[in-house]
Structure 1
Amino acid sequence: MGAVVIVDALWGDSGKGKVCAHLAVRDKAPLAVRAGVGTNAGASVTLDDGTLVRARQLPTGWINPGTTVAVGSGVLVDPTVLAGEVARFDLDGRVLVDGRCALIEPGHVEAERADAHLAATVGSTCTGNGAARADFVLRRARQARDEPALAPYLTDVARHVNDVARDGLVLVEGSQGTLLSLAFSDEYPYTTSGNCTAAAAMDDVGLNWRLVQDVLMVVKALPTRVGEGPLPYELPEEEVLRRGIAEYGVVTGRPRRKAGRLDRELLGYAAMLNGPTQIALTFCDHVDPAMRGARDAGAITAPVRALIEQVEHDTGAPVVLLDTGPGLSDMIDLR
């Protein structure tokens, strides 16, 4: 079948984790693999029984019982965070970690928390990812294969990803967002410490480009941003609260700044960088509350239909998924 690369168009927090979980369940994917920088970004999914799942290290594909989850070699691993998620989600025997992943260690976290530039100017999560990546580039970081506690999980994830993708479906879950990319953002230093494009995600997990089936770009209907940096069409906090569309970061709990509309030029630029073949349009209920919890195409309202047309025009790709609420099943499949 091939691989589906899930990438965020803008500044992250778009619901990539929910999209990954939905596809894993719908398509019974045998493998989901995490791309991205590391544990500096989180994913949250509300299960149909109301359970809120929050993850920082592992992809959310494990929500399908038959899906193995993995961490690509380009992703930083925090052994404590990993162990916590394996235990919390009862994933013994279902987790793979590439032995070449660099480790985030306590000293990396301490260094970032003591760095006023990162904490105050950039608005970093200060979870040790930038410091660990710097050590990796300087070839002095420890790797996953150097940590005895990670031994049960170790394998060559790149080889496994390509082997599975030749005959089955692999979901590659990116993190953060295209416009936070270190080398592609015009907003430096208000970026993360790596790139967050589809090509970067493929590189993070060692995926052969010939095995890519689709690039699914996730577009948040009303974009958000955590930390510093510009946010076009940003709404006043009181307006966000009045409309009942406030959000908070998974990792830090900080309020997410929220825009009142998409920036069409930036969306087009993200499409140019990522080459999406499909679009997932998320948080549609924040555009029109009448969409909350809708699960059938017949429930799509006029404002959301207009937004779908606009996004398809600006990205050159069809909208195939609509996210309509917090629950895992609050999704309209248009494929």
Structure 2
Amino acid sequence: MTNVAVVGAQWGDEGKGKVVDWLSERADVVVRFQGGHNAGHTLVVDGEVYKLSLLPSGVVRGKLSVIGNGVVIDPWALFSEIDRLSAQGISVSPDVLKIADNACLILPIHGELDRAREEAAGGGRIGTTGRGIGPAYEDKVARRAVRVCDLAEPETLQFKLDRLLTHHNALRKGLGADPLDGTALLDQLREVAERFGPYVAPVWQILDEARRTGKRILFEGAQGAMLDVEHGTYPYVTSSNTVSGQAAAGSGMGPGAVAYVLGITKAYTTRVGSGPFPTELQDAVGERLGQRGNEFGTVTGRRRRCGWFDAVMVRQALKVGGVDGIVLTKLDVLDDMDELKVCVGYELDGRHIDHFPSGMAAQARVRPIYETLDGWRDSTKGARSWADLPASAVKYVRRIEELIETPVAILSTGPDREETILVHDPFAD
């Protein structure tokens, strides 16, 4: 059976939630492998809207859902999300959800540090969600993090917290914040430890068993390739690897576990927070895209910056991420426009370049080179086949395929899971 990884191919918010939900109906296991509750996936199922942050999208379908070791977990955010879904009639029991015992935790001190740093940075803010994801990954890499498994070992937990606070109190002093003694935090962790227990498992074993018995595994990415800590627009990136290679490391499986990589990209471009954005439109067209596309963050509610489709950036993201086919989402947002523009190259200091440069200053200086295409007046919303699309819409999609050098596997024409045109089934390979 083919296992599929779904990753974002822009700056996140590409519509991965709908795609993962659509695919999860045929999957047996759904795995989150990086990020934290800064991610936001919106699912629309039979008219009901579900907003997920930490939980894999498979929980809504009752599929076995795994939070892998590559994710950083805020226990309070996680259980709040579980309780919210319960109020909507979705039971997230330990039979449905498994949490990696070697995943690291996000603690309240991480969020405090995250927000304090952003405040101190002033105009140099990176644009984080302030939820502590970055500081938690820092502690993970520095080998001082508290992990899920530590909750079951009181002596280890005390040792880990003491070591962690030695570092954090020095940082807090530098930022003018009061030091912490850890007693209240220890009590808070003891309270959540009991609820965590039934969900915790060595998930690498569960996934290995699933693979060996021929079950289909769907790896669900968060954010997008251009927010990858190594391949994105550094330093305006997230703190984890968002490309498909992380699906293996962040779940405890080998790279051979992923047979097909599906990249998600909007028919235009959006970005939340700070950082370079060559095709950004700060005019009536950008405003129109934002309004028609309902471009507000699922997690933060922040308004997204909008612009034309950037084929240079997406092509680079697809190659770095090893993407086999894309899902093109929100095509319907472009309805009723006389003409559309697509970025086909950049100008940097008088030179034509065909890639997004790595340098921070160079990224800020690049200017888009556009190709203009005909728009269309007929609606594409809800289209279920190519025959339902206006000729100009089909030409737009085909031109994008040429420019990004990757085929469209699925075309999304609306937020509902059935508003989808399947060109190639990722699970069929």
Same fold at TM > 0.5: yes
How far did residue 222 of structure 1 move? 0.9
How far did residue 151 of structure 1 move? 1.0
8 A Cα contact 1:240 1:246, kept in partner: no
Q: 2:73 aligns with which of 68, 72, 77?
A: 77
CA–CA separation in structure 1 for the residues paired with 2:280 and 2:28: 40
8 A Cα contact 1:5 1:171, kept in partner: yes
In structure 1, the residue corresponding to 2:328 is in which secondary structure? strand
Q: Deviations 1:61-117 (Å, cap 9, x if unpaired)?
A: 22323x111101011011112112223322113100001000001111111111125
Greater RCO, CA 8 A, separation 6+: 1
Q: Which residue of structure 2 lines up, in the alignment, with residue 142 of structure 1?
A: 146
Please list every run of 5 or more consecutive structure 1 residues that lacks an aligned counterpart in the other structure.
Answer: none
1:300 aligns with 2:380: no
Query: How does 1:145-156 map onto structure 2 within 5 Å?
Result: 145-147=149-151, 148=193, 149-156=195-202
Q: Which segment is superposed worse, 154-163 or 172-181?
A: 154-163
Q: 2:219 aligns with which of 127, 151, 172?
A: 172
How far did residue 10 of structure 1 move? 1.1
Q: Which segment is superposed worse, 232-241 or 320-329?
A: 232-241
Scaled by the length of structure 2, the TM-score of the pair is 0.73
Q: Larger C-alpha radius of gyration, 1 or 2? A: 2
1:160 aligns with 2:213: no
In structure 2, the residue corresponding to 1:6 is in which secondary structure? strand
Q: Which residue of structure 2 lines up, in the alignment, with residue 128 of structure 1?
A: 132
Q: Deviations 1:225-256 (Å, cap 9, x if unpaired)?
A: 00001112212264344453341001110101
State the one-letter code of the partner of 2:407: P
How far did residue 181 of structure 1 move? 1.0
Query: How does 1:217-236 map onto structure 2 within 5 Å?
Result: 217-236=263-282
State the one-letter code of the partner of 2:58: G
Specify whether residues 237 and 145 from structure 1 end up closer, same or farther in structure 2 by C-alpha distance, changes over 3 A only: farther
CA–CA separation in structure 2 for the residues paired with 1:75 and 1:224: 24
In structure 1, the residue corresponding to 2:417 is in which secondary structure? coil
Q: Deviations 1:14-61 (Å, cap 9, x if unpaired)?
A: 011111100012x2x110000222111211112222x22111101112
1:258 aligns with 2:306: yes
In structure 2, the residue corresponding to 1:258 is in which secondary structure? strand
Scaled by the length of structure 1, the TM-score of the pair is 0.93
CA–CA separation in structure 1 for the residues paired with 2:237 and 2:3: 27
How far did residue 182 of structure 1 move? 1.1
Q: 1:94 aligns with which of 93, 96, 112?
A: 96
Specify whether residues 62 and 235 from structure 1 end up closer, same or farther in structure 2 by C-alpha distance, changes over 3 A only: same
Q: Which residue of structure 2 lines up, in the alignment, with residue 30 of structure 1?
A: 28
Q: Deviations 1:193-243 (Å, cap 9, x if unpaired)?
A: 122111022221122222222101111111110000111221226434445
8 A Cα contact 1:36 1:176, kept in partner: no
In structure 1, the residue corresponding to 2:414 is in which secondary structure? coil
8 A Cα contact 1:246 1:256, kept in partner: no
In structure 2, the residue corresponding to 1:54 is in which secondary structure? strand
How many aligned residue pairs are there?
329
Specify whether residues 19 and 107 from structure 1 end up closer, same or farther in structure 2 by C-alpha distance, changes over 3 A only: same
8 A Cα contact 2:248 2:257, kept in partner: no
